[in-house]
Structure 1
Amino acid sequence: MSGPSARVRVREMALADCERVSRIRVRGWQTAYRGLMPQHHLDAMDPAADAERRRALFASAAPDVVNLVAEDDGGEVVGWACHGPYRDGEVRTADAELYALYVDDGRLGTGVGRALLRESVRRCETAGHPRMLLWVLRGNARARRFYERAGFVPDGAEEPFEVEGVAVPEVRYARPLGG
Structure 2
Amino acid sequence: MTETDIPAVSAVRVSGWKAAYAGMIPQSYLDGMTVEADTALRRRQFPGSRGRMTDLVAVDSRDEVVGWACLGPDRDTGGREPATGELYALYVHPSLTGSGIGRTLLGAVHAHAGNQGLDSMLLWVLRDNVTARRFYERAGYTSDGAVQSDDYDGLSVTEVRYHRALDRITQRPPVPR
TM over 0.5: yes
Q: What is the aligned counterpart of 2:140 among 138, 151, 156?
A: 151
The 1:62–1:51 alpha-carbon spacing in structure 2 relative to 1, beyond 3 Å, is: closer
RMSD between superposed Cα atoms in Å: 1.2
Shift in Å, 1:178: 3.3
**Which residues of 2 match residues 53-68 of structure 1 at below 5 A?**
53-68=41-56
Q: Percent identity?
A: 47
Highest RCO, 1 vs 2 (Cα 8 Å, sep ≥ 6): 1
Q: What is the aligned counterpart of 2:104 among 102, 115, 118?
A: 115
SS of the equivalent of 1:87 reads coil
The two structures have a TM-score, normalised by structure 2, of 0.90
Which of 52-61 and 160-169 deviates more? 52-61
**Aligned residue for 2:59?**
71
**Aligned residue for 1:170?**
159
SS of the equivalent of 1:88 reads coil
Following TM superposition, the consecutive aligned residue runs of length 4 or more in structure 1 with deviations greater than 3 angstroms are none
CA contact (8 A) 2:67 2:102 kept: yes
**Aligned residue for 1:6?**
none
Shift in Å, 1:126: 1.5
The structure whose residues are more often strand, as a share, is 1
Shift in Å, 1:64: 2.2
Runs of at least 5 residues in structure 1 that lack an aligned partner in the other structure: 1-12
How many residue pairs get aligned? The number is 166
Output one character per residue of 1:9-38: Cα deviation in whole Å (capped at 9) or x when no partner: xxxx00001101101101111111111011
**Aligned residue for 1:86?**
74
Shift in Å, 1:63: 4.6
**Aligned residue for 1:16?**
4
Output one character per residue of 1:47-66: Cα deviation in whole Å (capped at 9) or x when no partner: 10100101111222445211
